[in-house]
A and B are shown apart, each in its own frame.
Chain A
Amino acid sequence: GAGVSQSPRYKVAKRGQDVALRCDPISGHVSLFWYQQALGQGPEFLTYFQNEAQLDKSGLPSDRFFAERPEGSVSTLKIQRTQQEDSAVYLCASSLGTSAYEQYFGPGTRLTVT
């Protein structure tokens, strides 16, 4: 079946621009995570949704980062006024139930801020 998809796969933004990254989770998956992965590092937790509720946003690095999942399926991660330090791969993962033990990852969006 279809896995987690993310779009765009690559995004180049000039410093100061706003970007929006999309995640389509596996159909029926209740839980959704966003991560930021810098080169040579492990994924770093950004935020967690259970259906449309954002239960944990403790990992969002600044108020320039905003995530939403208004209908409990597709999610968007928005970064305002991008900075060079925002350059990374942004990963989305979904999980079937509320326990969210097993996460299925998308291919990621590579963001480069110039």
Chain B
Amino acid sequence: AQSVAQPEDQVNVAEGNPLTVKCTYSVSGNPYLFWYVQYPNRGLQFLLKYITGDNLVKGSYGFEAEFNKSQTSFHLKKPSALVSDSALYFCAVRDTGGFKTIFGAGTRLFVKA
């Protein structure tokens, strides 16, 4: 069965510092991996995806994520956090054999000025 774990309910960083939001996953086959962001009073927005190829993928707003097959992780990173990055972040996984997409419970990111 597919599953996603986001071990941190909340991450606090100072503006200008690097940020990491953690995600680990479990699928029976090869994974497709995604990050979505939800700003207050707005719908979920796609940030980036890993389908195949380079383990480091770049997405919107300066975010990137690294796929690590041996550790079954797909952590979201940004070199320099902005206050405007404060939002709720969801990691999601899909088995390459289907369309059922499993989301984590979300991690709330607070960036302090």
**Which residues in B have their C-beta under 8 angstroms from that of A101?**
32, 34, 49, 51
Interface pair A108/B102, CB less than 8 Å apart:
no
* With A101-B32, A107-B43 as contacts: A58 and B100 at CB distance below 8 Å: yes
**Which residues in B have their C-beta under 8 angstroms from that of A103?**
36, 44, 46, 101
How many residues of chain B get a CB closer than 8 Å to chain A's CBs? 22
**Which residues in A have their C-beta under 8 angstroms from that of B45?**
105
Q: Name the residue of chain A whose CB is nearest to the CB of B4.
A: A42
Interface pair A56/B104, CB less than 8 Å apart:
no
**Bound CA–CA A84/B71 (angstroms):** 39
**Bound CA–CA A108/B104 (angstroms):** 18
Q: Name the residue of chain A whose CB is nearest to the CB of B41.
A: A107
Q: Which residues 40-69 of B sit at the A interface, judged by CB distance below 8 A?
A: 42-46, 49, 51
B82 within 8 Å of A (CB atoms):
no
Binary contact track B89-102/A, C-beta < 8 Å → 1, others 0: 01010000011111
A90 within 8 Å of B (CB atoms):
no
**Bound CA–CA A55/B98 (angstroms):** 9
Interface pair A48/B100, CB less than 8 Å apart:
yes
B105 within 8 Å of A (CB atoms):
yes
**Which residues in B have their C-beta under 8 angstroms from that of A43?**
44, 90, 103
* Chain A interface bracket (under 10, 10 to 19, 20 to 34, 35 or more): 20 to 34
**Bound CA–CA A3/B46 (angstroms):** 13
Interface pair A45/B100, CB less than 8 Å apart:
yes
> Which of A40, A45, A50 meets B101, CB within 8 Å?
A45
Binding site for A on B (CB under 8 A): 4, 32, 34, 36, 42-46, 49, 51, 90, 92, 98-106
A sample of 15 more A-B contacts (CB under 8 A), given A33-B99, A42-B104, is A31-B99, A33-B101, A42-B4, A42-B90, A42-B92, A42-B105, A42-B106, A43-B44, A43-B103, A45-B101, A55-B99, A56-B99, A102-B49, A103-B36, A105-B43
Q: Give 6 nearest A-B pairs by CB, closest first.
A: A42-B103, A105-B44, A48-B99, A105-B43, A43-B103, A102-B46
Binding site for B on A (CB under 8 A): 3-4, 31, 33, 35, 40-45, 48, 50, 55-56, 58-59, 91, 93, 100-108
